[in-house]
Structure 1
Amino acid sequence: MSWLRDPDRPLLFSMVFWLVLGAVVAVNLLDESYAPTRYAFAVNLALVLGLWPVLPWNPGHRGRRLASPAFLVVTFALGFTGSAGTHAPLTLLAIANLAFVYGMRMATVILAGQAALMIALPWAVGRPMAGVLMEVGLLMVFAAFVLGMASSVLKARQLAERVRELTVAQERGRMAAEMHDSIGHHLTVIKVGLENAERFRDRRPEAAWDEVRQAKELTVAALADARRWVRALRPLALDGHLGSAALERLAGSFTGTGVTVSFDVTGTERLLKPDTELVLYRVLQEGLTNALRHAEAESVRGSLAFEKGRVVLVVADDGKGRDQGRGFGLSSLAERVQALGGTLSSGNAARGFELRAELPA
């Protein structure tokens, strides 16, 4: 149930929600004039509590988008079931949520409609307009702060996504060069070998067949390299997934290789910097690829743990282990992890091989 720890929900909004909700309940219980509507208030409060955890804070959550307008209606209704006006910040949170899901323009239109309704209803029952206009003006001031905060968060998300895209593009360029060197080398040797086989076929048939066998072996190696690079070039955002979801998709992409691959997440997930997310992606990729190439393992397990101040990724297999020391891939990864203030450790475990990365979060 990942929506219970929705990383898209701003922490400040959660704090405001629970503080204001407590104030609304306290006012209702202390003011005896609300006693006749207590049952309606309880139902209204239950709807608010039920909708808050499932509110989407990202337009990509299409299955829960209707929860946003429903939350706006039930928070606004608190004013009629007994809140003495203390519910207004909850309504502003609902409007801010609409900005996250439907855009700033929609949130502004709904806010204007609410202001018009707040003026029209008291006017219809003969309330003095001076007090009403003061209440509406105060609401607009607070609304400007809330929508300004929502706009800043949305722009920060767009910037982070852009940085992530640029980081991935840079990484792809580097990997494309490496792929050219590895697969290109294999194909060059295969071409030379087949040319030799063609020259030797009449005068030295055994040598020709040796060249063909070598070319066949190199073809298998080149094909294996190509498959690994295809996995490596898969983007971080798979069908809109980021963070642990992208890592889980990466682990799932190794299904069908003959090795059982599992992945789990512990702790409360939070947003990571694009560089941190990319390095974790590469660490998992390196661990899975090495397990397939060297370990002769039957299963590989990846686990991502969100701890206080850090995030830990462990990739462990049940294979034969391997010689101590790091190849180019692990050495390069270690440098990138250290550049972000983290550590990368690897070595034989009680059974198999384990790769562990710790990064500040």
Structure 2
Amino acid sequence: MAWLRDSDRPVLLSVVFWLTLGVTVAINLMLPYPVRDRVLFFADVALLCGLWLVLPWRSGQGRLLVTPAFLAGTFVLGLVGAIGTQVPLMLLGVANLALVYGMRTAAAILAAFGVSLVAVPLLFYGRTIVQALADLTMTAVLAAFSMGMASAVLRARQLAERVRELTVAEERARIAAEMHDSVGHHLTVIKVGLENAERFRDRRPEAAWEEVRQAKDLTQAALADARRWVRALRPLALNGDLGSAALQKLADSFSGTGVTVAFEVEGTERPLEPDTELVLYRVLQEGLTNAVRHAEAKTVRGTLTFEKGRIVLVVADDGKGFGHGHGFGLSSLSDRVKALGGTLISGNLAVGFELRAELPS
């Protein structure tokens, strides 16, 4: 039932819908309609309320027939006692059409609606051309508002997706730089050690074998580093999972590092904004990577807690604590948390180190 709390539903359009529907109901109650018409009117109002709650607000969400049904419901509302106030509701349906099917489809529907708005009153209700054009002008103003809102929402989504992509690219660049420093350093030392072994092999064979043993140990360390960074470069949506499922898979991916990793969720999980999910993913990733790489920890526990109005992620280990969490991306990560209105706190525990992110939700 997460779609009932659809975060993609624009707040302003939702406010306009409920206000307009409230005004429509109030006007209907003040006028002396027959009982049959009033029953039909309130049945249609109830239908529109239900359809509004399940309208899709992004392409690919399914429920695509809900929008045409909503538009049909707003049209029927005008036939059973809306006194013209159904027009803003119809335009909200067109705005939804723009978000789900695209601006061109919505514009075509609006053009057809504009033609009918002039033709129907002239042909069936005895309206003059001046009156019909006056209605069309008012509708055009409201249509410009609804289409402008839809266009702004689409543009904001494109910008958010672009920022998300740039953030991921920046994170990958940082990880690539650290991978170069760690693995590159190991390979450089291995190369020097093997060159020494080659030089010592005849005159000092024991020293040569010692260099080989050190190179072997460094090779294992370099391989472990490479595997950790490959895990870190995995995308946010692991096998299509998001939210706590993606965090759980990230925690599971560290199971081969020799550190016991546990992850749990407290509270009732709810859908989160994509940027919030990404930051939480990076916080857990940073906490796990630092604990495995720098803290010499034996266990790490991640806890994701859903509280009223906020979400908290805590990553705690039983490692050596002081110093291991500094200088490894926490500064930039803190900036990203603050950009979403949250806080990132890190510090030593009695035993180990804790990373705590609090974000609004």
Normalising to structure 1: TM-score of the pair?
Answer: 0.80
Q: Percentage identity across aligned positions?
A: 56
Q: Which runs of 5+ in 2 are unaligned?
A: 256-260
> Would you say 1:109 and 2:111 are equivalent positions?
no
1:255 alignment counterpart: 252
- The alignment of Structure 1 onto Structure 2 pairs a total of residues equal to 351
Distance verdict in 2 for CA 1:339–1:72, change over 3 Å: closer
Contact 2:243 2:272 in 1 (8 A): no
Query: Which one-letter code corresponds to 2:75 in the other structure?
Result: F
Deviations 1:12-61 (A, max 9, x none): 11111111122222333333314213343343223212221222222242
Q: Deviations over 1:153-190 (max 9, x none)?
A: 22232233323333433333333222211111112222
Residue deviations 1:179-213 (CA, integer Å, cap 9, x gap): 21111111222233334444555655544443343
CA contact (8 A) 1:247 1:284 kept: no
Deviations 1:57-95 (A, max 9, x none): 22242x233322222222222112332222221111110
- The match for 1:90 is 89
For the 8 Å contact 2:288–2:300, the answer to whether it is kept is no
1:297 aligns with 2:322: no
**What SS is found at the alignment partner of 1:323?**
coil
Task: Give the aligned partner of residue 345 of structure 2.
Answer: 345
Q: Which amino acid aligns with 1:82?
A: G
CA 1:107–1:162: 2 relative to 1, 3 Å: same
Q: What SS class does the counterpart of residue 21 from structure 2 fall into?
A: helix
State the partner residue of 2:225: 225
Alignment-derived partner of residue 258 in structure 2: none
Alpha-carbon deviations, 1:113-147, whole Å to 9, x = none? 22233344444434324434432332122111211
**Are the counterparts in 1 of residues 266 and 306 from structure 2 also a CA contact under 8 Å?**
yes
Contact 1:337 1:357 in 2 (8 A): no
Alignment partner, residue 188 of structure 2: 188
Please tell me whether residue 74 in structure 1 is matched to residue 73 in structure 2: yes
Deviations 1:278-303 (A, max 9, x none): 65543221123234454322743234
Cα contact 1:193–1:212 (8 A) shared by 2? yes
SS of 1:346's equivalent in the other structure is strand
Partner of residue 151, structure 1: 151
> 1:313 touches 1:358 (CA, 8 Å); kept in 2?
yes
Shift of 1:110: 0.6
Corresponding residue of 2:5: 5
TM-aligned CA distance change 1:66 to 1:262, over 3 Å: farther
Q: CA deviation at 1:350?
A: 8.3
Question: Is 1:324 the counterpart of 2:322 in the alignment?
Answer: yes
AA aligned to 1:226 is A
Pick closer, same or farther for the CA change 1:337–1:305 going to 2, 3 Å: farther
Unaligned runs of 5+ in 1: none
- Map residues 27-46 of structure 1 onto 2, 5 A cutoff: 27-46=27-46
1:121–1:240 CA distance, 2 compared to 1 (3 A): farther
- Residue 330 of structure 1: how far off its partner (Å): 6.1
Other-structure match for 1:287: 287
Deviation at 1:99, TM superposition (A): 0.9
